Structure 1
Amino acid sequence: MKIIRRKSELRDLTKNWHQTGDTIGVVLTMGALHDGHLSLVKAALSRADRVIVTIFVNPRQFNNPEDLAKYPKTEDSDARILGPLEIDVLYIPEPEEIYPTDFSTTISVSGVSAGLCGGDRPGHFDGVATVVTKLLLQTDADFTFFGEKDFQQLQVVRRVVADLDLKTEIVACPTVREDAGLAMASRNLRLEPQARNVAPGLGRALDDAANAIARGESVAQALDTARQTLRAAGFDAVDYFELRGDPDLQPLMSADRPGRLFVAAWLNGVRLIDNLPVKVGSDLPTGSDKMPEPA
């Protein structure tokens, strides 16, 4: 594994790879790697001839400076974790490689960015769309791998790639969960031990709501029950708990077409997000995404 920090060096390498007919798979991260990230890396290794993992904590997708300051930065341990996987390049660009002093372009996506995290975090998806576009161009990616845990982000990236005619194929990968059902996320590192015991309730609330809707309960009642359940479990606040269409992310008041439940809630000063599909006419949301029973 080679560590590269300059886009000029990276481009020389990727140019040679493409000249010899190799395909390039890319996993974009902000570091603090966990098994969810590693599942994306393994998917890339199975699909592409060459694999690049990027680490860049993107300041433009943080609307809260305190949140940016607290974001885990674990470059050395991330490199050690990636070592056994035998990827080709770990790209950790210097800030000026992404945002030089005269940088003045922002990519904004409408539609799928509205509401949910787009409503609660103004400018967040503009920052995501801009940095993803830059990194896909710098890495010359043929494939890029995203987890469905950040489903709204996935839809934003799909829109960017389609609208800007980028050559990259987006590969969506299933959410990876801890044994208790908590979706893996770098922010989980900030949870104190007591909060970690409470956090899996987020996934169980999603599962219960999805099952209730599948049984014919009204969406409004299922969502209201879920919000109350989270507050009773010890979550500090619920930013949203909604049913949205899949893939357009339009709000749904009834489960008359494929959709997903989305939740964002605060616990121990950490904002946790998750989602789960709801299938029309099914007794359960999905087999693979069903939450484990609490121990």
Structure 2
Amino acid sequence: MTKPLTKDDYRPDDVTVHRDPARLNRVVRALRGAGRNVALVPTMGALHAGHRQLIREAKVMQNTVVVVSIFVNPLQFGPNEDLAEYPRQFEADVDICREEGVGLVFAPSAEDMYPEGAQVTVHPGPLGDELEGAVRPGHFAGVLTVVSKLFNIVQPTYAVFGQKDYQQLQLIHKMARDLNFPLNVVGVPTVREYDGLALSSRNAYLGEEERHHAVTLSAALTAGAHVSAQGADAVLKAAHDVLAQTPEVELDYLELRGPDLGPAPENGDARLLVAARVGSTRLIDNIAVLLGEGDE
């Protein structure tokens, strides 16, 4: 029998922070036992307007308590990546959650999540070695492992992710399906700055001039989307032409794929994805395109 919740477990009128996985699990099981749905918004903190939109989408779900996880997951960072430098602003993040009406914040330590190290991980399959996976080996095994742990701890009805990390979203869809997680994965369109730059916690790394150059990524995607009726070759050429105008943007990849990240169709829905470095900051973005459906 689940113990009754106390005000230290959950307060309907304020956000409650939990660090212990077992205690949070007990709280969400009690809430679900009382008829509430639970919506999980996984984050690594440094919350911004894009995260606010994820929270708002989660709150739309009927009779739902929103859980925001804040955890900089060491398992998804490579040896030469920015784990130590990744922006952290915990108190400000909790304030944002409070402003947005979040019920629970889950903020475990690495020791809480991996008390004996990550001895068992989730393999992402072939897609995990492509695109981002080719540039960041092991990244998606780290992502899927922590997300699967969050699914088990929080036991959400809904799990809400942004489409900016499109490959991650597709892999989480596949994992939820293949491993029979009883939940709905919800993808939310990318939130952008006034000039098109996709919101990202890593934008904080950009200097003023780098910030100006970074807009090239979204400009290239938009240029490709504008000629999508002419087919895949036209899309890629238009995007490459824009990128070539800004040599400060060091391209990792620009690829056109199907909506599930398989091969792009000759006609129909597709996804144009880009990754590049601006200075020392690595950024990714993507856009939906409709191939070959224009007027002849």
Return the TM-score normalized by structure 1.
0.90
Q: Is the 2:266–2:291 Cα contact (8 Å) retained in structure 1?
A: yes
Q: Which residue of 2 aligns with 1:250?
A: 262
Which amino acid counterpart does residue 172 of structure 1 have in structure 2?
G
**Structure 1: gaps of 5 or more residues:** 285-295
* 3-state SS of 2:72 partner: coil
Distance in structure 1 (CA, Å) of the matches to 2:266 and 2:88: 41
The match for 1:54 among 47, 58, 69 is 69
Q: How far has the Cα of 1:113 moved from its partner?
A: 2.3
User: 1:181/1:101 Cα in 2 relative to 1: closer, same or farther (>3 Å)?
Assistant: same
**Are 1:209 and 2:221 an aligned pair?**
no
Residue deviations 1:13-55 (CA, integer Å, cap 9, x gap): 1121011111100100000101111101011111052110000
| Aligned-pair Cα RMSD in Å | 1.8
Count of aligned positions: 280
Q: How far has the Cα of 1:98 moved from its partner?
A: 1.1
**Are 1:187 and 2:198 an aligned pair?**
no
Distance in structure 2 (CA, Å) of the matches to 1:234 and 1:23: 49
Q: How does 1:264-283 map to 2 (within 5 A)?
A: 264-283=275-294
Q: Is the 1:242–1:251 Cα contact (8 Å) retained in structure 2?
A: no
Q: Is the 1:239–1:265 Cα contact (8 Å) retained in structure 2?
A: yes
* 3-state SS of 2:165 partner: helix
Distance in structure 2 (CA, Å) of the matches to 1:279 and 1:66: 35
Return the TM-score normalized by structure 2.
0.89
The match for 2:96 among 76, 81, 101 is 81
User: 1:116/1:102 Cα in 2 relative to 1: closer, same or farther (>3 Å)?
Assistant: closer
Q: Which residue of 2 aligns with 1:9?
A: 23
Q: How far has the Cα of 1:224 moved from its partner?
A: 4.2
Q: How far has the Cα of 1:8 moved from its partner?
A: 1.6
Distance in structure 1 (CA, Å) of the matches to 2:117 and 2:166: 32
Q: Which residue of 1 aligns with 2:53?
A: 39
The match for 1:125 among 134, 137, 140 is 140
Which amino acid counterpart does residue 223 of structure 1 have in structure 2?
L
Which amino acid counterpart does residue 272 of structure 1 have in structure 2?
L
The match for 2:253 among 233, 240, 248 is 240
Q: How far has the Cα of 1:4 moved from its partner?
A: 0.5
Q: How far has the Cα of 1:212 moved from its partner?
A: 2.2
Q: Which residue of 2 aligns with 1:26?
A: 40
* 3-state SS of 2:194 partner: coil
Which amino acid counterpart does residue 251 of structure 1 have in structure 2?
P
% of aligned pairs identical?
37
**Are 1:227 and 2:224 an aligned pair?**
no
Distance in structure 2 (CA, Å) of the matches to 1:257 and 1:43: 27
Residue deviations 1:166-219 (CA, integer Å, cap 9, x gap): 1121011111101100011110011001111121121110011122232x15x3
